[in-house]
Structure 1
């Protein structure tokens, strides 16, 4: 789905300062020279601080079948990042979100797949609670499971659980906020990339 009503899903291209420099079709932007673009990640926790971990569909072009945080995606041109998180959670997981809030406004990473495909994103990180059940889109997600947060952090650090490269880096950054996800401070929207502040 593209909120702009076009069938071609586009991503927002960024300068090094995080301002909009243009757009590009999502289907063509990821290669060995992927330009910097806007994304997001969201971690959905239940009342027992278990994270909803998702396995990316094996048919996906980037990081197929890899386990990762609950939902990731790209705001469409002109779409607010909060709105994009809500949209993708619904599209990928059939999941309504409650208590959505920003925790890592300035997160950025670059990662390279074995075939040379690059991810290169300014990627604010959010947390939320689930509201309702799941209805997975098989083109996006193969499987899900609820994992105790501290167990996941320990397993990834010890090499017992493989996750996407962005998730692995985000786990370290989130861990620096404290051991209790419910107590993580809300991030300052002023620290978002300028393209994500609207």
Structure 2
């Protein structure tokens, strides 16, 4: 779903046409999966991905289908990419947006609300999407990300400080209201 700077829908475009040198702003999401101990699930993107192949990042990112609520899209993609089942996702950063350029000129330009998901059980990565997974204590991960000690995707590097502002225990973060989502993201 293509969006304007105010988060209003402009139309749709195939995913393949919105990841190139002239990437228009489009709707996406990021999610951070936690277990009951507050560890975050990190993923290394599959080596054949168009954007940031082989790079470590947050648990799961993706795009909603036309008309699909973002929370449902998060749950759908977690099942597909990581074999994780969840009853829902908590909205944490409703207005997050970023633009990043790869060395080869491919651009990511996304209005990308961020979600927290708590799960039980191990991940079963889909090799089409994920090269590797790793659980890490949130505090250790947040400190490493903010101090530049971990090589991470550009969106993850921008999101972690904002999430860290919500508190040191990710299991107690207060979710944002869905009313804070940009108009196109409200489903």
Give the TM-score of the pair, scaled to structure 1: 0.91
- The residue aligned with 2:164 is 175
Stretch of structure 1 that moved more, 65-74 or 153-162: 153-162
Select the residue among 119, 126, 132 that pairs with 2:108. 119
**4+ runs of 1 displaced by more than 4 Å?**
none
Stretch of structure 1 that moved more, 131-140 or 86-95: 131-140
Equivalent pair of 1:13/1:35 in contact (CA under 8 Å): yes
Are 1:150 and 2:139 an aligned pair? yes
Where is the strand percentage greater, Structure 1 or Structure 2? 1
How far the C-alpha of 1:136 sits from its partner, in A, is: 1.4
Aligned length: 187
**RMSD of aligned residue pairs (Cα, Å):** 1.1
Equivalent pair of 1:98/1:131 in contact (CA under 8 Å): no
- The residue aligned with 2:91 is 102
CA distance, structure 1, for counterparts of residue 120 and residue 140 of structure 2: 23
Equivalent pair of 2:71/2:88 in contact (CA under 8 Å): no
User: Which sections of structure 2, spanning at least 5 residues, go unmatched?
Assistant: none
User: Which sections of structure 1, spanning at least 5 residues, go unmatched?
Assistant: 1-11
CA distance, structure 1, for counterparts of residue 93 and residue 147 of structure 2: 24
How far the C-alpha of 1:99 sits from its partner, in A, is: 5.3
Give the TM-score of the pair, scaled to structure 2: 0.96
